[in-house]
Structure 1
Amino acid sequence: MSVAQPDVSVIIGAYEAMPYLIDCLASLEAQTIDPGRIEVIAIDDGSTDGSGECLEEFAARAPMPVTVIRQENSGGPSGPRNVGLGKAAGRYVFFLDADDRLGNEALERMVAMADRCGTDVVLGRVEGINRSAPKSMWGSTLERTDVFSSKIKFTLSAQKLFRHELLRRHGMRFDESLWTGEDALFTMEAYLRANGVSVIADYTCYYLVGREDGKHVTKSGSYTLRFDSARALMELIARMVPAGERRDVLMVRPFLVTLLPQFGPKFLKDGDEVRRRKLELAGPLMEAYWRDGVARRIKVHERLRLHLVAAGRPELLVDVLKFLRAHKEPEAVLESRGHDLYLAYPHFRDDTGVPDSVYLAEPYEARGYPGYREGGPAALMRRAARGARRALTVLGTRASAA
């Protein structure tokens, strides 16, 4: 007698996860989906705190099939997730971190959404407990969207529902050479390969739990690992998306989320050698991927900092960071009859040579400033330039297809 294929394989990698693992497993037991429709594959990655024993006790009592695999510590989350993928039989897979937990209806709602819409990835609303969580993508429930026309690029953690056939077809696995950001690489590739992505914004499917012991993986590790993560994600985007507007849209994410924090408040505390090394690591990434199409999609103070990184001007960057740390507001300089708004952060129109264009606010940032008038010659020229670039991208795509 054949066993029916489960709808979802829930993959849990656990390392020193007690006592958080107890609530994580309880959230699985509380799922409203029929237990016969799911399977759990739990990997104890060399824990010494009783996590493995907790998983085995859960397997003995759980209403759904549970496979527990115990192995030597692999050093990161990628290895256990890949082991779980190799064992998964479900139509979908969901990666559940051992210190987090699910909303009671999470799996039922996500599977229903994927089945109804035929989409390959489903994002369920995330809330943070004792830690921050992504917010910008939960404005409304979307039955079908993509990574270019939504905010989903700002949530690249692995805690999504993925259609298993998509992962098998493309041989997708987590990069075990990365010590951080491996989930961003995996999820971005899935977004780009997916036949549509769904977003559930009206129900909290996932609770991201901040550990009181501070051992959450994203808070640990050398700064050099962040540059490795940024580089890997930028290279993936460049490999999968031709140069142009669409690539620029996606490049905003690694520049803002991964690279820019290395040149934030912590840079003021860094010694000269660390500052030099950070600029050295950033240099090739800025040269390869920092473009006007990325720069105009971010705020002036973010653009200014990255411009100074690209220019190799740490002394000017320090001035900007001290200004921001003091919570000062830049003077708003209106020109062209109110159509151009410059935000006069440090070194605006002094003798350091930073171009005015770096300080020019795009309409989405300028709106709300008294006296600003949207439109005007500069805005028209920018729109015309963007239109020309889009046309060239389309022509290039058609030429390649031919």
Structure 2
Amino acid sequence: MPDATRTNNMPDEPGVPDVSVIIGAYEAMPYLIQCLESVDAQTIGAERLEIIAVDDGSTDGTGAYLEEFAARTAIPTQVIRQANSGGPSGPRNVGLKLARGRYVFFLDADDYLGEEALERMVAMGDRAGTDVVLGKIVGVNRGAPKSMWKETVERADLYTSNIKFTLSAQKLFRRDLLLRLGMSFDETLKTGEDALFTMEAYLRGDGVSVVADYPCYYLVGRDDGKHATKSGTYVLRFDSARALTKLIATHVPPGPERDVLMVRPFVVTLLPQFGPSMLRQSEEVRRRKMELGAPLMRDYWTPGLARRLKVQERLRLACVAEGRLDLLLDILQFMKDKKEPEAVRKGVRGHYHLTYPHLGEPGGLPDSAYEVVVPERVKGGKTQRPEPQSPAMFMRRLKRKARRVARTVLSTPRRAR
């Protein structure tokens, strides 16, 4: 619980601000300086904002700087100083309980906003009547998601757009939604808590908007490498994947729509645990990862989900589903050696398959695990696409194969048969 609170510039009977900016800060200096300056410079105006900043037990002067900023800014600001909570969820939940704004925005103390960010995002939320607004994210000294910023959209479709691949907390949320659903960040999760929170808002809220024509949020890579998403053990990643898959399954019935959403936890959260770095890990860690992954594969891995993935993604997860650590290690070695698969035709329908290890071998994975079903990069840098076939094309291919078989039989001496 907070042990001290400082309030600056808070009227006795204030009007409701448009946005409550919630900043959880831990050992945030000197990045906090630019973060707070970016809020102070927002074109929406100080009278339409409030800041709730929670110093989560910092020892580097973060708390003192927050109080100094609160004393001079025109934005109504509360500073809460508390013992370290062990993760970002606690400070965000403290700020959420104190927030009064129509919207809340969770701003990490390492990052900063574009000057027009909140003005543009609030205008979008009010115009579209949506409960969540995504502002374009730009990476600074680190990567950032890109595929969902192709165009500004008043109401994005969760299933056909790529918004499912940006589940960080740095978005504008309508506070009424969070109050109505009793939403908060899961403090038992030490990573992936923001993905769980945001996906629930996507699923249960009234629409999601995208502001893609202006850089709203600058995601900063810290020089000291202390960014929260880089910390924690592999077990925490499985906890995150388990929570997110369960949430999706709770709100979306089995079928194509669930499969679409399951791509996010399987590819972004789970799959990296079964990457080439696994080759350097001990046998104990390898087997533990297979054990942790098995229940997720049993409960949520479906043919529909598998066919939404690239071959190497599908193969690795299929190995986990089948408990085939031996095959998985061979595939990972192929990837580590930077070998490139070729595309070959297989089966009656002549579909393209990629020549990853053990294709067509007895006792291996079925050929369908190697089939090209989404565009793939193959040997020589060529993009191989799945080849749609009409019934007529299929029949012609079948007849050609039958003729080849007949010629082989007729040319074989009777005694050899």
TM over 0.5, shorter chain? yes
Q: Which of residues 208, 228, 231 is equivalent to 2:242?
A: 231
Distance 1:318 1:371 in 2: 27
Amino acid at match of 1:95: F
On the 8 A contact 1:339/1:372 being kept in 2, the answer is no
| Residues 359-378 of structure 1 aligned to structure 2 (within 5 Å) | 359-365=370-376, 373-377=387-391
On the 8 A contact 2:309/2:374 being kept in 1, the answer is no
Distance 2:384 2:230 in 1: 40
Amino acid at match of 1:354: L
Distance 1:378 1:137 in 2: 38
Summarize deviations over 1:273-306 as a string: whole Å, max 9, x none.
0001000000101000011111111101100000
On the 8 A contact 2:374/2:386 being kept in 1, the answer is no
Shift of residue 135, structure 1, vs aligned partner: 1.0
Distance 1:352 1:72 in 2: 56
Shift of residue 322, structure 1, vs aligned partner: 1.2
Amino acid at match of 2:211: I
Which residue is 1:166 aligned to?
Answer: 177
On the 8 A contact 1:334/1:371 being kept in 2, the answer is no
Structure exhibiting the larger radius of gyration computed from Cα positions: 2
SS at match of 1:68: strand
Distance 1:276 1:260 in 2: 15
SS at match of 1:145: coil
Amino acid at match of 2:121: M
On the 8 A contact 2:159/2:260 being kept in 1, the answer is yes
Confirm or deny that 1:36 pairs with 2:47: yes
Distance 2:392 2:132 in 1: 40
Which residue is 1:48 aligned to?
Answer: 59
Q: Which of residues 123, 134, 142 is equivalent to 2:153?
A: 142
Structure 1 gap ranges (5+): 381-402
Which residue is 2:101 aligned to?
Answer: 90
Structure 2 gap ranges (5+): 1-11, 395-417
Which residue is 1:396 aligned to?
Answer: none
Shift of residue 363, structure 1, vs aligned partner: 4.6
The structure-2 alpha-carbon separation of the partners of 1:32 and 1:292, relative to structure 1 and needing over 3 Å to count, comes to same
On the 8 A contact 1:345/1:359 being kept in 2, the answer is yes
Distance 1:60 1:164 in 2: 27
The structure-2 alpha-carbon separation of the partners of 1:333 and 1:174, relative to structure 1 and needing over 3 Å to count, comes to same
Q: Which of residues 181, 194, 200 is equivalent to 2:192?
A: 181
Shift of residue 194, structure 1, vs aligned partner: 1.5
The structure-2 alpha-carbon separation of the partners of 1:337 and 1:358, relative to structure 1 and needing over 3 Å to count, comes to closer
Which residue is 1:240 aligned to?
Answer: 251
* Segment drifting more, 269-278 vs 336-345: 336-345
Which residue is 1:399 aligned to?
Answer: none
Q: Which of residues 81, 100, 113 is equivalent to 1:70?
A: 81
On the 8 A contact 1:338/1:371 being kept in 2, the answer is no
The structure-2 alpha-carbon separation of the partners of 1:341 and 1:369, relative to structure 1 and needing over 3 Å to count, comes to farther
The structure-2 alpha-carbon separation of the partners of 1:378 and 1:289, relative to structure 1 and needing over 3 Å to count, comes to farther
SS at match of 2:105: strand
Counting aligned pairs with the same residue, the percent is: 66
Amino acid at match of 1:49: D
Shift of residue 26, structure 1, vs aligned partner: 0.9
Confirm or deny that 1:202 pairs with 2:216: no
| Residues 2-401 of structure 1 aligned to structure 2 (within 5 Å) | 2-335=13-346, 340-365=351-376, 373-377=387-391
On the 8 A contact 1:300/1:361 being kept in 2, the answer is yes
What's the Cα RMSD here?
A: 1.9
Distance 1:246 1:64 in 2: 43
On the 8 A contact 2:372/2:386 being kept in 1, the answer is no
SS at match of 1:97: coil
Which residue is 2:398 aligned to?
Answer: none
The structure-2 alpha-carbon separation of the partners of 1:4 and 1:146, relative to structure 1 and needing over 3 Å to count, comes to same
Shift of residue 165, structure 1, vs aligned partner: 0.3
* Segment drifting more, 177-186 vs 344-353: 344-353
Structure 1 moving runs of 4+ over 6 Å: none
On the 8 A contact 1:338/1:373 being kept in 2, the answer is no
Distance 2:374 2:58 in 1: 52
Shift of residue 149, structure 1, vs aligned partner: 2.1
The structure-2 alpha-carbon separation of the partners of 1:360 and 1:121, relative to structure 1 and needing over 3 Å to count, comes to same
Amino acid at match of 1:149: T
The structure-2 alpha-carbon separation of the partners of 1:26 and 1:358, relative to structure 1 and needing over 3 Å to count, comes to same
The structure-2 alpha-carbon separation of the partners of 1:275 and 1:363, relative to structure 1 and needing over 3 Å to count, comes to closer
Distance 1:147 1:363 in 2: 20
Amino acid at match of 1:14: A
Paired residues, number:
380
Shift of residue 379, structure 1, vs aligned partner: 11
The structure-2 alpha-carbon separation of the partners of 1:326 and 1:319, relative to structure 1 and needing over 3 Å to count, comes to same
Distance 1:379 1:296 in 2: 22
Distance 1:370 1:272 in 2: 36
